[in-house]
Structure 1
Amino acid sequence: MQTLKEKPIHLETHPALTVCGVAFDLTPEGAAWLAAERLLVVADLHLEKGSAYAARGQPLPPYDTRATLARLENLIARFRPRAVVALGDSFHDRAAASRMDASDAAHLTRLAKNLDWVWISGNHDPVPPREFGGTVMAELRLGPLTFRHEPRPAPAIGEIAGHLHPCAAVRVRGRRLRRRCYASDGTRMVLPAFGAYAGGLNVLDRAWDGLFPGLDFHAWMMGGRTVVPVAARRLEAD
């Protein structure tokens, strides 16, 4: 288990998290950058979640896809990756592509066609739509790492996953802060949901039982311009 200094880390320093000896730079937007492979990793975009809710009579502003793609494009422009890996649930449901605004669909197609893009299958999108390009895979192996959607019970050495939408809560000077986060014990990592409308599940929730034995992990909490590692023993449940 690596030793971490629990203090704010500014984006300009690209706070690094090591999984099985492989260093990832973490961004406060919720993407992980694997510089050695020029690989940008995101999880749970949930594109067209807003329109899915609207179809069920729960109207939400229909701009979540546009906002999510804009944030992703900004990261692509910053890091200039060779490849993007989307760790499943990139689309909120099987009909997401048919509801997508034409300009948003064209935007996504432009992004995907200019990169080696890997769509990992998720539980919301077991068969991601093909019209946007890229390669669909159940999981991707790269050296000691395995990129998949749903985390498996420990030990899952080298696993990079999404699905659980991790968030964490901590009390600072009497004020309770709750943020999306990365979760890692140095042997595996779960990424936060990247989608604009994606919620978060507290890393102390029972759904996390069996992933990180005991409290021997850190939540890398996202702020506006920082990512801060916080030991699990300091976190609060919801």
Structure 2
Amino acid sequence: MAITTDWLNTQHSRGQLLPAKLAALTILLDARGSAYLPGHDTLVVSDLHLEKASFLHSFGNPLPQLDTLATLDRLQKLVADYQPARLICLGDSFHDKHSFARMTEATRDTLASMQKKVADWVWVQGNHDPVIPAALGGRSCPTLTIEEVLFAHEPVAGAPHQVIGHFHPKCKRTVQRHRYRGPCFLATPTLFIMPAFGQYTGGLDIDHEVLLALAPPARRRAFLLYDQRIFPSK
């Protein structure tokens, strides 16, 4: 852990960091799309979808293949700020089963260098990456539990409290008569849905029927991420 009280207060005053609670866990929401658990020195990101552009390129899509390096660059900055003992990648870290094979040597080196700075690097398995190559390092698991809160890629029936990814939630918010739309954290008293961290990721509006079923308006709060700031719903 490298963060200090002064750093936390500064980030909060700038609207770049907000505290939240889920069961007994205190969660710091970072405007860059990550969550930090100060009581466990754990950083959480979800849905990196590394090598999505190279996957699309194989089908003739001319999208520039810069997403993996851009995503890892942003992750490096988070790791440098928090210096966490544990980092949880909450599923769909890779866009498909051949993503690791398509990564350039430079990209693999960047990832390996980052992993050396984190004692416990956890790959939670997702629907896009149910099998994590052993060559990646770290450890993989279907779910992880911290203080009775389940960390999984998709919702798990029967779990009383859980943090998940998968849905890439997005929302709209009016701030001083300006209309903004972007990724968001979506929370209820029992469920916390992470935004997608990957550079090339779409999203599901929080008013989509799937998310309405998981987080009905009467129970939810959305935290819009826009221009390096967090805007909580009222």
Structure-1-length-normalised TM-score: 0.88
* Residue matched to 2:93: 90
CA distance in 2: counterparts of 1:11 and 1:32, whole angstroms: 17
* Residue matched to 1:4: none
* Residue matched to 2:226: 223
Residues 1:181 and 2:192 are matched in the alignment: no
Where do 1:72-83 residues align within 5 Å? 72-83=75-86
Say which structure, 1 or 2, has more relative contact order (CA 8 Å, 6+ apart): 1
**1:145-184: per-residue Cα shift (whole Å, max 9, x none)?**
110001246x743201000001101234544311100000
Taking structure 1 as reference, are residues 220 and 214 closer, same or farther at Cα in structure 2, changes over 3 Å only?
closer
Counterpart residue type for residue 47 of structure 1 = L
* Residue matched to 1:131: 135
State the secondary structure of the residue aligned to 2:115. Answer: helix
* Residue matched to 1:24: 27
Where do 1:42-191 residues align within 5 Å? 42-115=45-118, 116-152=120-156, 156-191=159-194
Structure-2-length-normalised TM-score: 0.89
Unaligned runs of 5+ in 2: 1-11
CA distance in 2: counterparts of 1:114 and 1:76, whole angstroms: 8
CA contact (8 A) 2:173 2:224 kept: no
Q: Aligned pair count?
A: 223
CA contact (8 A) 2:36 2:44 kept: yes
RMSD of aligned alpha carbons: 1.9
State the secondary structure of the residue aligned to 2:39. Answer: helix
Taking structure 1 as reference, are residues 13 and 56 closer, same or farther at Cα in structure 2, changes over 3 Å only?
closer
CA distance in 2: counterparts of 1:114 and 1:133, whole angstroms: 12
Counterpart residue type for residue 137 of structure 1 = C
Name whichever of 220-229 and 61-70 sits farther off: 220-229
Unaligned runs of 5+ in 1: 1-8, 232-238
**1:176-231: per-residue Cα shift (whole Å, max 9, x none)?**
31110000023220000000001111111012133124432110111223212114
| 1:132 shift after superposition | 1.6
